[in-house]
């Protein structure tokens, strides 16, 4: 059965969970349990194909209008970037026990408190990461096999997403416990103990940086994007484990408009 059919047949309360837990959304949003049963109707489920696909996201809810009307949306093709000697992102990631959730749109890996990044003087806490397959961002037109989004939030609620591109190659040892435990039913969860997100990062940590949005509804803008320019490798079997559960979940490229892209060359 396709995800579309599953998503349209689940009870309304589950749709709330899907919306709140969807890609790019912070993990600490109110849980569905906090929403009274008599609350407003659930937001419609978005999909990646069909009638509720990306072209229709902006019409699915008044909350989603940025998906259609926004001027700084993600993802984009990373090309014609301005080379700049930028301060490194300081990663302070700690190993901990993580929870995998099948949101219907991706597999999200919720992180315990304690991991953060510092960039340009701001500290952002790591909330969760999740997968897209194939990649959402492209580099000079090149699409990759997948993309991992590490979602962070600062004290003021500002979001910063660090994207790690995935290339098909050797099996990823650090991600193996995650790919081996992917929950295959909507809202199903799984636990992985002692996962170290720092080991997901490539050795070379130069980035493309630009201002964009969440890549799923509500497509909120004001998101600081840091796309690492060096992919990591995952195996064909690992990619297949994900695509066997979640159908292609990449939002199409969005208009860049007049936005600048900076390419950090400090170690390039």
Nearer to Zn ion, 4 or 23 (CB): 23
Nearer to Zn ion, 24 or 217 (CB): 24
What's the closest the beta carbon of residue 256 comes to Zn ion, in angstroms? Answer: 18
Compute the C-alpha angle 94/100/104, nearest 5°.
140
**Residue 82 CB, nearest approach to Zn ion (Å):** 25
From 24-32, 77-85, 204-212, 245-253, give the range in contact with Zn ion by CB under 5 A: 24-32
Whole-number minimum distance, CB 181 to Zn ion, in Å?
20
Specify the pairing of strand 96-102 against strand 189-195. antiparallel
Burial (Cβ within 10 Å: 0-12, 13-18, ≥19) of residue 34: exposed
**Residues that contact Zn ion, how many (by CB under 5 A):** 3
Q: Does 23 bind Zn ion (CB under 5 A)?
A: yes
Beta strands per DSSP E along the chain: 77-78, 82-84, 90-92, 96-102, 107-110, 116-119, 122-132, 138-139, 142-143, 146-153, 159-168, 189-195, 207-213, 221-228, 232-234, 262-264
Using CB under 5 A, pick the residue from 149, 205, 251, 263 that binds Zn ion: 149
Beta strand 262-264 pairing with 82-84: parallel
Report, in Å, the least distance between residue 49 CB and Zn ion: 17
Q: Is 228 helix (H, G, I), strand (E, B) or coil?
A: strand
**Nearer Cβ to Zn ion (26/265):** 26
Shortest CB 94 distance to Zn ion, Å: 22
Using the contact rule CB under 5 A, the part of the chain among 64-72, 143-151, 242-250, 257-265 near Zn ion is: 143-151
Q: 152: exposed, middle or buried (C-beta count within 10 Å: 0-12, 13-18, 19+)?
A: buried
CA distance 8 to 12: 9
- Comparison of 24 and 212: residue with beta carbon closer to Zn ion: 24
Nearer to Zn ion, 63 or 82 (CB): 63
Binding site for Zn ion (CB under 5 A): 23-24, 149
């Amino acid at each position: 059965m396709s995800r579309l059919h599953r998503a349209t047949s689940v009870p309304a309360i589950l749709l709330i969970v899907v919306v709140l837990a969807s890609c790019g959304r912070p993990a600490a949003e109110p849980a569905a349990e906090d929403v009274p049963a008599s609350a407003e109707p659930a937001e419609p489920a978005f999909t990646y194909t069909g009638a509720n696909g990306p072209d229709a996201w902006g019409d699915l809810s008044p909350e989603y209008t940025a998906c259609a009307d926004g001027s700084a949306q993600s993802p984009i093709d990373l090309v014609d970037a301005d080379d700049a000697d930028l301060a490194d992102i300081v990663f302070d990631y700690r190993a901990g026990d993580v929870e995998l959730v099948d949101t219907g749109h991706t597999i999200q890996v919720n992180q315990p408190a304690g991991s953060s990044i510092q960039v340009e003087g701001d500290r952002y806490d790591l909330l969760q990461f999740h997968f897209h397959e194939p990649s959402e961002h492209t580099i000079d037109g090149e699409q990759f096999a997948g993309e991992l989004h590490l979602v962070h939030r600062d004290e003021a609620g500002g979001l910063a997403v660090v994207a790690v591109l995935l290339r098909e190659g050797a099996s990823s040892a650090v991600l193996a416990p995650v790919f081996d435990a992917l929950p295959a039913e909507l809202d199903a969860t799984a636990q992985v103990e002692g996962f170290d997100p720092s080991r997901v990062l490539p050795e070379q940590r130069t980035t493309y940086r630009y201002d964009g949005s969440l890549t799923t509804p509500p497509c909120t803008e004001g998101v600081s994007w840091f796309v690492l320019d060096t992919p990591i490798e995952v195996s064909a079997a690992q990619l297949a484990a994900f695509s066997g559960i979640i159908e292609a979940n990449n939002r199409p490229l969005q208009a860049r408009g007049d936005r600048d892209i900076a390419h950090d060359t400090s170690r390039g």
